[in-house]
Structure 1
Amino acid sequence: MTLPLTSPLGPTIETQRLILRPPVTEDFDAFCAFHADADAMKFIGGAVSPALVWRIMRVLAGAWALDGFHMFSVIEKSSGQWIGRIGPLYPHGWPDREVGWGIMSSAQGKGYAKEAATACIDYVFDVLGWDHVVHTIAPDNHASANLAKALGSYNQGPGKLPDPYANEPVNIWGQTRDEWKQRKGQ
């Protein structure tokens, strides 16, 4: 199945190798595969059933409808495959506005997360007008910490998430819009 390249919920962002757009119904099977991927889900809640994935997708779509932003579906241009979800989020009780990420295990190690996260950080600063961004990362999630460093973020210390994640340790990584623009030479 070829996935739609646009969504009625929000913008489409195109990078060199990726299409980022809000989720659509046709993404469901790929979302299920992602949420069943124990390696991909290790630090973001663990593998879950299709019934829960259905609810998760609708939360994302609802956030787009209510807030005008949330995770984008990440589509690989060359194959048309859904490979993950990356984007801005700010759930109730969250430590701050975040750009978060999750990529299918089969698509990891190819630079897709950095490419998509870079586009999302540009989006939150240039379009949404945020003045800073964070990434909440488990202390032993070295791959995400390395991505945060590659994006120019730095560890700002331990943080606390709301329920149901209140007992999960996280570090808050982040940077300001000025730091982002300076690093990019803008």
Structure 2
Amino acid sequence: MTPPVPRLETERLVLRPPLPEDFEDFAAFSADAEAMRHLGGVQPRPVAWRSFVGLVGSWHVRGYAFFSVIEKATGRWVGRLGPWMPEGWPGTEVGWSIARPFWGRGYAPEGAAAAIDWAFDTLGWTEVVHAIDAANTNSKAVATKLGSRYLRPGRLPAPLDLDVELWGQSREEWRARRAGGTPA
């Protein structure tokens, strides 16, 4: 049985499953070479569509996937983040991808912290990893801000076929950090 479809809120963000009206922003994000540099490269619109409906399908089949990240102040789609573990994935991931116009605002750690709480509390995960391209210093900084550390090498399955660094932490480490009042 899959858990109920959530709507998570942080101070500045709403995290919810993708809706059809999110696709235009998702496609624009997927076509941005700089935003996609560490995510396997630009996706043409038809490939972006398949990625988008793959997220929607994962919500129906598994009860989780990346959330659409919505900025509360404007209602704008600012990215995708959350729990992700498709077939062959190297671990129970909470990942993040924020559209370039919204970089530098702290949305990735803010949203990822809420998604990590949800993954541990609702999905019952015991570890969260972040699959990060070795050259992606920005994502490593987000992971560090979340209290994660380098764990081990990993590889993303086909069609990506990418070597990555797996950063992350255990549920116990996360909860101890949160109980200590350390914000993300």
Give the partner amino acid of 2:168: G
Q: SS of 1:139's equivalent?
A: coil
Structure 1 equivalent of residue 69 of structure 2: 74
Which residue of the other structure, out of 107, 112, 120, is the alignment partner of 2:115?
Answer: 120
Which residue of the other structure, out of 125, 147, 153, is the alignment partner of 1:152?
Answer: 147
Q: SS of 2:89's equivalent?
A: coil
Q: Following the alignment from structure 2 to structure 1, what is the Cα–Cα distance between the partners of residues 31 and 122?
A: 33
Percent identical residues: 49
Q: SS of 1:79's equivalent?
A: coil
Structure 2 equivalent of residue 185 of structure 1: 179
Which residue of the other structure, out of 16, 24, 45, is the alignment partner of 1:21?
Answer: 16
More deviation in 65-74 or 43-52? 43-52
Residues 1:129 and 2:121 are matched in the alignment: no
Pairing 1:79-98 to 2, within 5 Å after superposition: 79-98=74-93
Structure 2 equivalent of residue 46 of structure 1: 41
Q: Following the alignment from structure 2 to structure 1, what is the Cα–Cα distance between the partners of residues 80 and 156?
A: 20
More deviation in 62-71 or 9-18? 9-18
Runs of at least 5 residues in structure 1 that lack an aligned partner in the other structure: 1-8
Q: Following the alignment from structure 2 to structure 1, what is the Cα–Cα distance between the partners of residues 42 and 156?
A: 19
Cα distance per residue 1:81-111 (max 9 Å; x no partner): 0000001011111111100110001101000
Q: Following the alignment from structure 2 to structure 1, what is the Cα–Cα distance between the partners of residues 120 and 11?
A: 20
What count of residue pairs does the alignment treat as equivalent? 177
Give the partner amino acid of 1:175: Q
Q: Following the alignment from structure 1 to structure 2, what is the Cα–Cα distance between the partners of residues 60 and 43?
A: 19
Cα distance per residue 1:35-85 (max 9 Å; x no partner): 111111111121112211111111000000000000000000101100000
Could you state the TM-score of these two structures normalised by the residue count of structure 2? 0.93
